[in-house]
């Protein structure tokens, strides 16, 4: 798909005006369990679409599953992994991400940055290593893609491998019938264009904020933190246990970190939100310890 085509599709198909719809969907799909450790056990506690966000989320996934083809993903990698859009310090990137919501809904002005700081603070409170805290702080920074004009279906949402048959356990699997890749038999076997246990690094996931941020940070963070960032939306694998035939032993080991991260992403809304002025010095030091003073987006 050419970029012009993608741009015109985007204009025609912009169902979610702001990321609040997405957050609402996540909260409904993965309700807060009694204890985060019980989350994976309670199979009835999620995939609950009986929520006001239902129709926009359904429409979101219709677009996501229709247009996220292998060709689209390769096209977006060429476009965004050139990192020629903007240079920012880590703090500027956090501030820049916040402008995303300033433009749409004043009630959700703080949602993005609050979610990042609450995730990081919950990880810190539990005494995890500082790189784990940092992964919490930055894990959604890739959503700046929305500010570069990308539609929501190419930024957020559960991710899944392209170039092979989709799992039935992906949310709204029926919409894959609309995806042009279903017309290519080479992409419709369980391994598709990949070989068994080739490892996820060789697998193209649907394009979005996870993969984008992974490439921005891959030289700077320890590998467990990079797995948390790169695969945090790959629910079919880390939640449902699908796609193990594409994973290698190293992926299996590293996914323990992805699963450890997930409850903090979903359930870290604090009753008393952290006061930024109090925690800022800690996070300034943390960012300076791991990240360069300026990063290319
Ligand atoms: Fe995310
Ligand atoms: Fe998140």
Q: At what angle do helices 111-125 and 90-102 cross, to 10 degrees?
A: 130
Q: Are the C-beta atoms of 65 and 159 separated by less than 8 Å?
A: no
Average pLDDT over residues 130-153: 96
Q: Are the C-beta atoms of 61 and 196 separated by less than 8 Å?
A: no
Average pLDDT of the chain is 85
Q: Grade residue 98 by pLDDT with cuts at 50, 70 and 90.
A: confident
CB-proximal residues (5 Å) to ion ligand 2: 140, 265
- Residue 143: nearest ligand to its CA? 1
Q: Grade residue 267 by pLDDT with cuts at 50, 70 and 90.
A: confident
What is the rounded distance in angstroms from the CA atom of residue 154 to the CA atom of residue 203? 17
Q: Grade residue 14 by pLDDT with cuts at 50, 70 and 90.
A: very low
- Residue 209: nearest ligand to its CA? 1
Q: Grade residue 274 by pLDDT with cuts at 50, 70 and 90.
A: confident
- Domain residue limits, the chain: 3-296
Average pLDDT over residues 178-200: 98
- Residue 232: nearest ligand to its CA? 1
Q: Grade residue 196 by pLDDT with cuts at 50, 70 and 90.
A: very high
- pLDDT at 208 exceeding the cut of 90: yes
What is the rounded distance in angstroms from the CA atom of residue 257 to the CA atom of residue 238? 10
Q: What is the pLDDT of residue 220?
A: 98
Q: How far is the CA of 41 from the centre of ligand 2 (A)?
A: 21
Beta-bridged to residue 88, according to DSSP, are: 295
Q: At what angle do helices 111-125 and 20-29 cross, to 10 degrees?
A: 40
Q: How far is the CA of 142 from the centre of ligand 1 (A)?
A: 8
- pLDDT at 17 exceeding the cut of 60: no
- pLDDT at 281 exceeding the cut of 80: yes
Average pLDDT over residues 113-120: 92
Give, in order, the Cα–Cα distances in Å from 148 to each of 77, 80, 112.
Answer: 14, 10, 16
Average pLDDT over residues 45-61: 65
Q: What is the pLDDT of residue 45?
A: 43
Q: How far is the CA of 231 from the centre of ligand 2 (A)?
A: 11
Can you tell me whether residue 88 is helix, strand or coil?
strand
Q: What is the pLDDT of residue 21?
A: 56
- pLDDT at 250 exceeding the cut of 50: yes
Highest-scoring range by mean pLDDT, 54-58, 70-74, 266-270: 70-74
Q: What is the pLDDT of residue 48?
A: 52
Q: How far is the CA of 210 from the centre of ligand 1 (A)?
A: 7
Average pLDDT over residues 86-93: 96
- Residue 213: nearest ligand to its CA? 1
- pLDDT at 283 exceeding the cut of 60: yes
């Amino acid at each position: 798909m050419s970029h012009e085509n993608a741009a015109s599709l985007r204009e025609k198909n912009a169902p979610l005006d702001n990321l609040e719809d997405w957050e609402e969907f996540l909260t409904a799909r993965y309700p807060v369990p009694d204890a985060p450790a019980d989350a994976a056990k309670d199979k009835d506690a999620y995939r609950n679409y009986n929520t006001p966000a239902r129709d926009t989320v359904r429409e979101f996934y219709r677009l996501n599953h229709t247009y996220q083809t292998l060709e689209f993903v390769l096209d977006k990698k060429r476009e965004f992994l050139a990192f020629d859009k903007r240079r920012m310090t880590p703090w500027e990137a956090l501030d820049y991400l916040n402008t995303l919501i300033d433009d749409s809904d004043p009630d959700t002005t703080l949602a993005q940055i609050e979610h990042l700081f609450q995730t990081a603070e919950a990880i810190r409170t539990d005494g995890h290593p500082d790189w784990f805290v940092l992964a919490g702080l930055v894990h959604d920074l890739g959503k700046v893609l929305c500010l570069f004009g990308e539609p929501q279906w190419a930024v957020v949402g559960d991710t899944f491998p392209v170039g092979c048959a989709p799992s039935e356990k992906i949310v709204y699997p029926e919409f894959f019938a609309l995806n042009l890749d279903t017309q290519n038999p080479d992409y419709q076997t369980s391994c598709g264009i990949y070989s068994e246990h080739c490892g996820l690094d060789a697998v193209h996931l649907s394009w979005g904020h996870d993969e984008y941020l992974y490439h921005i940070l891959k030289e700077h963070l320890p590998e467990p933190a990079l797995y948390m960032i790169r695969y945090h939306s790959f629910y079919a694998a880390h939640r449902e246990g699908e796609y193990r035939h594409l994973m290698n032993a190293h992926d299996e080991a590293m996914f323990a970190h992805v699963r450890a991260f997930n409850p903090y992403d979903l359930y870290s809304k604090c009753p008393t939100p952290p006061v930024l002025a109090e925690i800022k010095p800690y996070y300034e030091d943390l960012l300076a310890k791991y990240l360069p003073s300026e990063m290319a987006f």
